[in-house]
Structure 1
């Protein structure tokens, strides 16, 4: 399963190691004297933030600018105890305010379209990536062995119209970002934004990353991930207990607070990429999931049953998606999902939401036919993709379909 880190962990353990330029910071536990000294050093201007495993902190209203010591102390205490999207902060911290002339967005992730990693850059930093027009961002596929060169980063920045004085220092920092990504077993990392000072120096001013816990590079990362206050939902608790009940097939979920797509996802790293793609395209997934590991019928049936009991009634779409499996028997997992879906309808009544399916692997055709028969019986509209369609393309399609499903139904079409 994926392991997530926040900006504070990045500041504490990774930024210095990989020579990435970041603002100075101080945590709420550092003491009044330290807070006072640094605030004075920074010219009396700083930002207080929660260290929490939740995104969109700015939109949630929990990033507070402070201009004096009294405000700083008060906000550090308040934000430390403020719930953010159902998540409780581990602590709060204060970072130096970086004056800037521009902000830049960057993200590195694995992209099935290129069968490898890619970097996306935009000069419209500070915005959600889904709000940035395609003409204002560039995605560059990267060779996993050669990595990202400064000349490649420079070419992308020039293509986007970046000021010349910014290109060289930002290119070097993007190369360092790649070095961190590939050296620590990350699946995804995002800096949003890089704040660029009037002198042209970049600072990484917000950060998040997801690691692949099975990657040996992550296992040798050199520090322990911090523990956050436990606030698991009933669904997460029941799924965790179900996952622990057997070693055959994994059943991992993490609620995201979404309200649209119920995702039954397979394939470890593919699950993270699919979820990121859904979120970037406004798909609003209800949870992150990973149900691979060749689960037997009873295991997959129980997993799907839990997902449906807790989430199907509020979902606007069912997404069944994963990469091409090597060992997982597709007909077994799809039969289990189909039976769990039929059982839900028998108990709760008909549902009329679209189903999007994308998978590859052993006995795929039998699995698709089994699922098709059940969906036809239930009268549920569906679209099925084969193994030659990249999972990111299927996820993007699913997000757009979910957002426009009301218009499709008004038009009288399935």
Structure 2
């Protein structure tokens, strides 16, 4: 599982769209929210959403960092002119969030809603069970009030609907609100599971008019290995870079390539001077390869994280491979470098076709690969994989680069150990 943070705007958009369904129509969320960016001013947002000029507003940055209230980055109960002035003063300015500096570029605008009660709920995954944390003491001081948080554990082999959570909730919720809160917690958990969330926190949230859920602040992460099946339900989802970390030109290029393609291509540079580089097919496989490299004690030498999947074209894999090879051959390491071209057993990606793009890039970088003493390890399975592996074996002889080639008989984690530590198969 690759947990990736999403904007509060997107988490609330999905909650508004699907919580009614998962609650059997018992709960709803406001549909009114807008995102203001350097490319979309609050005036443009207001022309699309007239309520922005009609209602009191809440405005805050939406860039994957918390404690916004404590950093003076939340505007409450403001009219349109106040909100516009506040955003314009801060747009593209640099903020220091507990030592991390970054530029403010995205602001969430919502209606201001009067309320009396503030609750806390978070759902987080673990190896054997999910944990639901709940408290009636929601707000910015929840960490200081953690003794007031109750925990409900949901084993992975249990259905939430078969569990009695009322006894735990009754420790904090009065009898007249217990049924409503129990229904909400169960509905939110269904939403979390069915849409492949890895973490979801509403802090605080409130419920008004009996059934209208108002998440005042939301933090969420998705399991991005589910992106293929969840494409329709997630909609036009963005996985922003962490606050304070701007995308490199190469990361931007792959992001743009990904956005134009029906396939998936992702790239994150972890350590540009790293000795170990990966070119992995499949989101799940990329996590396994990365975890194995870290488990073997080579995390500080891992240069990149990413994946290509969804049957990309030969040209797309060529561009993806060329970008990685260019990065890999900028700085030398006296020990040489390692490139792992891996993946699981593909369902529908034509291995030979994608390998042709990678082979084209490897041929172009033949001299630089030799100069940097690069050794390549290949492990792949799936449609037409025998032809793909044959092409890779021939390439090694042609360009004079050591390339060890393995099929699905070689375990994914074993190829990593072989590449990093050598030894027998």
Query: What TM-score range do you get, normalising by the shorter chain?
Result: 0.5 to 0.7
User: 1:15-164 maps to which residues of 2 (within 5 A)?
Assistant: 15-19=16-20, 21-23=28-30, 24-28=32-36, 29=40, 30-33=44-47, 37-40=51-54, 42=55, 45-84=56-95, 85=97, 86-112=101-127, 115-134=128-147, 136-149=148-161, 152-160=164-172, 162-164=173-175
Task: State the Cα deviation string for residues 174-222 of structure 1 (Å, max 9, x = none).
Answer: 2221112111222211111112337675422211111222346556654
Deviations 1:255-304 (Å, cap 9, x if unpaired)?
Answer: xxxxxxxxxxxx969xxxxxxxxxxxxxxxxxxxx952246979446359
CA distance in 2, matches of 1:192, 1:296: 34
Distance 2:299 2:160 in 1: 40
Runs of 5+ consecutive residues of structure 2 not aligned to the other structure: 21-26, 252-267, 281-285, 304-412, 414-425
Residues 223-254 of structure 1: per-residue CA shift (max 9 Å, x gap): 243264785279998624357952289xxxxx
Q: 4+ runs of 1 displaced by more than 6 Å?
A: 233-238
Q: 1:243 to 1:174 in 2, by over 3 A?
A: farther
Partner of 1:292: 291
Task: Please say which structure displays the higher CA radius of gyration.
Answer: 2
CA deviation after TM superposition for structure 1 residue 125, in Å: 0.5
TM-score, normalization: structure 1? 0.53
Query: Which of 226, 231, 235 matches 2:238?
Result: 226
In the TM superposition, residue 91 of structure 1 has moved relative to its aligned partner by 2.2
In 1: Cα distance, 2:149 partner to 2:57 partner: 30
- 1:101·1:198 contact (CA, 8 Å) conserved in 2? no
SS in structure 1 of the partner of residue 66 of structure 2: coil
Q: Aligned partners of 1:116 and 1:2: how far apart in 2? A: 16
Structure 1 CA distance for aligned equivalents of residues 295 and 124 of structure 2: 31
Question: Is structure 2 residue 218 aligned with structure 1 residue 207?
Answer: yes
Contact 2:120 2:135 in 1 (8 A): yes
| Cα distance in 2 between the residues matched to 1:25 and 1:182 | 24
Pick from 244, 247, 252: which aligns with 2:278?
247
Q: How does 1:268-283 map to 2 (within 5 A)?
A: none
- Deviation track 1:31-68 (CA, whole Å, cap 9, x = no partner) reads 3445653442x4xx221111212122111211101432
Instruction: Report if the CA contact (8 A) 1:46-1:65 is conserved.
Output: yes
Q: Provide the C-alpha distance between the structure 2 equivalents of 1:295 and 1:33, rounded to a whole number of angstroms.
A: 49
How many angstroms apart in 2 are the aligned matches of 1:129 and 1:210? 20
What is aligned with 1:5? 6
Cα distance change, pair 238–182 in 1 and its aligned pair in 2 (3 A)? closer
- Give the number of equivalent residue pairs: 262
Structure 1 unpaired stretches of 5+: 250-266, 270-289, 305-361, 363-414
Contact 1:125 1:192 in 2 (8 A): yes
Superposition TM-score, scaled by structure 2 size: 0.52
RMSD: 3.9
